[in-house]
């Protein structure tokens, strides 16, 4: 299978969507991303062998950066909408809410922090479950807000707090 299929199959990477090959190959989408040609070849190779060592080890970082751009595109937002509607992301940990959540990165800088979830009903951020360590830059700081701006019908009603 390909490197992308292998990477998406790793536990904890279910939040990441499959970036299309044509999007990756488009040189405009690669602008400003530093990488070695070999890194891109590993990612695009349809016959990736996971038993071998990675060529440089930068594949995950580079895929994360192109993923952050892809999910802001029309196709990427639609892919993330499908994941959101299926409930592929976690739900709000508040028992009184349990709303489907979105992924959000507290930072756009690689290696600075891990992805969190954003509850669009509570407007709060929460840690992902403990076994998931995705780089926040894979989603960026503006994805969840951009998503809800493009799909306002998916924004839930605010909670009804009834005092006791």
Measured between alpha carbons, how far is 9 from 1 in angstroms, rounded to an integer? 11
Mean pLDDT of the chain: 86
Statement: residue 92 has pLDDT above 70: yes
What's the length of the chain? 164
Q: What's residue 7's pLDDT?
A: 87
Mean pLDDT, rounded, for 129-152: 87
The pTM is what?
A: 0.86
Return phi, psi of residue 118, to 5°: -120, 125
Q: What's residue 141's pLDDT?
A: 92
Looking at 51-60, 83-92, 94-103, which range is the least confident one? 51-60
CA-to-CA dists, residue 158 to 30, 85, 96, 102, 141, angstroms: 39, 18, 12, 16, 22
Measured between alpha carbons, how far is 156 from 119 in angstroms, rounded to an integer? 9
How remote is the C-alpha of 89 from its chain's centroid?
A: 10
Statement: residue 37 has pLDDT above 80: no
Domains and CATH numbers, the chain: 3-154 (2.20.25.20)
- Between 51 and 66, residue with greater pLDDT: 66
What region does 98 belong to: left with phi over 0, alpha with psi -120 to 50, or beta?
Answer: left
Looking at 27-31, 100-104, 126-130, which range is the least confident one? 126-130
Q: What's residue 2's pLDDT?
A: 84
CA-to-CA dists, residue 41 to 46, 47, 57, 59, 79, angstroms: 10, 11, 12, 10, 24
């Amino acid at each position: 299978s390909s490197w992308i299929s292998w990477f998406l199959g790793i536990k904890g990477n279910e939040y990441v969507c499959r970036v299309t090959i044509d999007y990756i190959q488009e040189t405009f989408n690669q602008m400003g991303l530093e990488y070695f040609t070999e890194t891109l070849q590993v990612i695009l190779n349809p016959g990736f062998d996971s038993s071998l060592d990675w060529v440089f080890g930068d594949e995950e970082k580079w895929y994360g950066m192109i993923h952050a751009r892809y999910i802001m595109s029309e196709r990427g937002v639609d892919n993330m909408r499908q994941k959101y509607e299926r409930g592929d992301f976690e739900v709000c940990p508040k028992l009184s809410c349990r709303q489907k959540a979105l992924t959000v990165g507290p930072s756009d800088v690689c290696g600075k922090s891990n992805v969190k979830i954003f509850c669009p009903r509570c407007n709060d951020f929460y840690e992902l479950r403990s076994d998931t360590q995705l780089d926040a830059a894979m989603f960026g700081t503006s994805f969840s807000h951009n998503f809800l701006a493009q799909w306002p019908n998916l924004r839930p009603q605010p909670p009804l707090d009834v005092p006791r």
